[in-house]
Structures are given as C-alpha cells and as structure tokens.
Structure 1
C-alpha cells in the first residue's frame, strides 16, 4: 500500500511516498509496570483477557491504514488510542502519529481480530526518527474524545512511559532492524476516565524540544448492526 506523506525535518517540508507492506501494532508496550497494569485492568473491566506476554505484536493488513478524515465502524463500541507510528522506508526510520482504533466488543473475545476490524487513522506528517531520538522520552502524546457531552482530554503523557522504538524493534525482530516497508504503532497510555466510545477522536504528538507537533483528527461514523 502506498501512502502519500509529508516529511518535515528541521530544514524543510517535502512530499514522501511510502510503500507499506507490513503493519504491526505493539500492544502492552509500557515501560512502567504499574501503568501497564492499570491499562490491563482497564481493559479487563471491559472483558478483555489479560495478555500472556508483553509486549505483544499484532499483525494488521496494511490497507487498514488511512489518512481519511472519517472512518466507519460497526456499532457503538469502538474507540481510538493515540500512538507513535514508526515507519521504515529506504533504510531510514521515521516517526509519525496514529490511532489504534479498536472494536472493544470484539476485543473481549479476540484481541487480534479486534485490531483487524477497524481502520487505523494516521497523520500525513512524518519526522526523521534521528531528529527526535536524543530526546525521545520528552515527546508528549495527548488525545481528546468528543461525545454528546462535548470534547474532553482523553489521554496525556510522555512516550517515556512506553518502550522506545529501538527496544520494540529489537524485540520484534529478535535483535535485527525493522525491514523496509514496515509500519509499527508503538503502544499507548491509559484513558483518563476509562476507555469509551465517541463521535470524534483527535490527538497530537508534541515535541517540546524542537517546538513542533503532529496532529491527527477523525470522525467516527457508527454503522447500524442488523440482525
């Protein structure tokens, strides 16, 4: 699958066509055992079984990646999660922003299936990973959820609470490098007030050192379930 992205580095912005043939979602990727346990219990409260290993690497069809402003989901039980996106392209690593949008009802009986059910929105912007590697732990992930009651802060924290890209890649490849054409979402943090659905999800990856951010926003269209 080819994605038309925009590469923004400290010098310029330029179009970048990226071919993705492998999509991986790193689940249960927290560095902090207490915070990860909180997220596991958060999902257990929804009926999701505890993982047998952490992290877990889920494969998803690359054509689930989308830069569209709206996704369609069956029923009212899906929700987003802000995550970093690591992309390997022509021997170089890039970082972006994505949402591991997941059907929470399906997740209760099959986590891997739930990852495949929903599209995975991503921002169109990428940064060279080497520009942020030296201050990676200072990057901030933040998300907001819009429901009938309004827009509220949904997630917030530094990516220092999650395993680094280098650590995730090493675990996924048994010490190797991320193959060209691979995109990997790098884990998320607990939801403020618990995991829940909404009509719109927006998030940001903030670099306080280089004073820039990547933003992603999309609407969720609920499709009726017949039968």
Structure 2
C-alpha cells in the first residue's frame, strides 16, 4: 500500500496506514441521528444496531488522489474530517468518503468497501486547533454546487473518537479515522462528476481541501 504524505506547516509527514475506520451516524445530537436512521430505513438502508457506528475498511482505501473510478452512476462523496495518528502526533485533515449508494441499501459496511476515503494533502496538528474545534467549518461541493455546509460542532469530537480508539487498542501510529458526515442540502444532485471538501479555520483563514473527479470505468465484458 502507498503511504500518505501530508504537509504539516511546511513539514512533510509520511504515514503508512495500518487501520482505517469510518465513523457513521456520528452527529453530536443523537436524537437527530435517530431521526435520520428512520428516514434512511424508509429508503431501504438497514438501520444500525447502535449509534454511533464504526466501520473498519481496508487500509488501502485511504488515498490522496485526483480521480476516483466508479462502476456506475450512483456513487457520491461525503464531507468529513479525518484523524491521522503518526509516530509522535495526531493530525486533522479534510476527507471525503466516496460511497456506493446502490450497495448501501444492502449494507452500509459493504458500501464503504466499494469506494476510497480521499484525504487532503495538508493537515493540521490537532493540538494547534483543539481550543476552537467547534469553529472549524466543513463544506462540500458536488459538481460545483454546494451540497453540505456545517461546522465540527455538528459532529462527535476528535477527542470522543480518540477515547474510543484507546478503549479498542487502536490509538496507535498508522490509524486513520474518518469522522462521519453532516446533512446534505435537499435537491442537490449528489451523483456528480466532481467532489470537493473544504475544512476551514475561520480564525486563521487557512483551508485544507480535498477534491477529485469521478470517472466512470468501462463496461464489464462478461
């Protein structure tokens, strides 16, 4: 598998991913999450047995890429942040969990395995932003149209997930956790040919971006 490389304040940091985890149903308000689970159930998406959820996925699905190949037209991203544990630090970056919506109705864990987690090429040290985490903004565009817009206050905190990782013996170098996402704006076509996610710090004006094209693969010969 290829290592991830981050620019952290001008310093290059390389991480070989050993464990990749996707959080799900990870809104700060679990009452809102329960309502969302009920909405998804009406669309045929199986309800989880508990929330929040944590889905292990193959480590090679953590990518820094400009293009995501897809097998059909019903895949889309999700605006998220990612925790990256290095040998001596914890980093925070932008991420986009590209998900197969056709598979999602059969099993969320399966759908997570069918697409990559695209991460930004820059990162911040968690310690440098932890005193104002809830002010950080998370925004996504599908095909150039804004589809998600919120703050980290909408999601369970990085420290919540670090505690969860410690309990499971997973808070170790090479672990990457993707945060779960915020609500999408109704009426925007999520099945777009491009996706972009911005993680921004309004105090400094700094922004970490991950963006990519969605490229259909050739039809199978079978």
Provide the TM-score with structure 1 as the length reference. 0.90
Preserved contact between residue 66 and residue 121 of structure 1 (Cα < 8 Å)? yes
Query: Aligned residue for 1:211?
Result: 205
Query: Aligned residue for 1:43?
Result: 40
Deviations 1:148-191 (A, max 9, x none): xxx31100011111110111221243286721110000111011
**CA–CA distance in 2 between the matches of 1:117 and 1:42?**
23
**CA–CA distance in 1 between the matches of 2:169 and 2:206?**
31
Poorly superposed stretches of 4+, deviation over 4 Å: 224-227
2:180 is aligned with 1:187: yes
Deviations 1:30-82 (A, max 9, x none): 11134324543453354211211111111111111111110101111110001
**CA–CA distance in 1 between the matches of 2:172 and 2:158?**
14
Structural RMSD (CA): 1.9
* Structure with a larger share of its residues in strand: 1
Query: Aligned residue for 1:155?
Result: 148
Query: Aligned residue for 2:22?
Result: 25
2:98 is aligned with 1:101: yes
Deviations 1:58-114 (A, max 9, x none): 111111111111010111111000111001101311101111110011011111111
- Aligned pair count reads 219
Distance 1:41 1:80, change over 3 A: farther
The answer to which of 190-199 and 94-103 deviates more is 190-199
Pairwise CA distance, 1:122: 1.0
Any idea what SS the aligned residue of 1:23 has? strand
Distance 1:163 1:96, change over 3 A: same
Preserved contact between residue 169 and residue 175 of structure 1 (Cα < 8 Å)? no
Preserved contact between residue 140 and residue 156 of structure 1 (Cα < 8 Å)? yes
Pairwise CA distance, 1:225: 5.0
Deviations 1:14-33 (A, max 9, x none): 21111211101111111113
Match among 68, 82, 86 for residue 85 of structure 1: 82
Unaligned runs of 5+ residues in structure 1 are: none
Any idea what SS the aligned residue of 1:217 has? strand
Deviations 1:109-153 (A, max 9, x none): 11111101112211111110001100001110000111xxxx311
2:126 is aligned with 1:133: no
Deviations 1:181-225 (A, max 9, x none): 100001110110167311111110011112211011101012355
Query: Aligned residue for 2:7?
Result: 6
**CA–CA distance in 2 between the matches of 1:179 and 1:225?**
41
Provide the TM-score with structure 2 as the length reference. 0.91
Preserved contact between residue 17 and residue 62 of structure 2 (Cα < 8 Å)? no
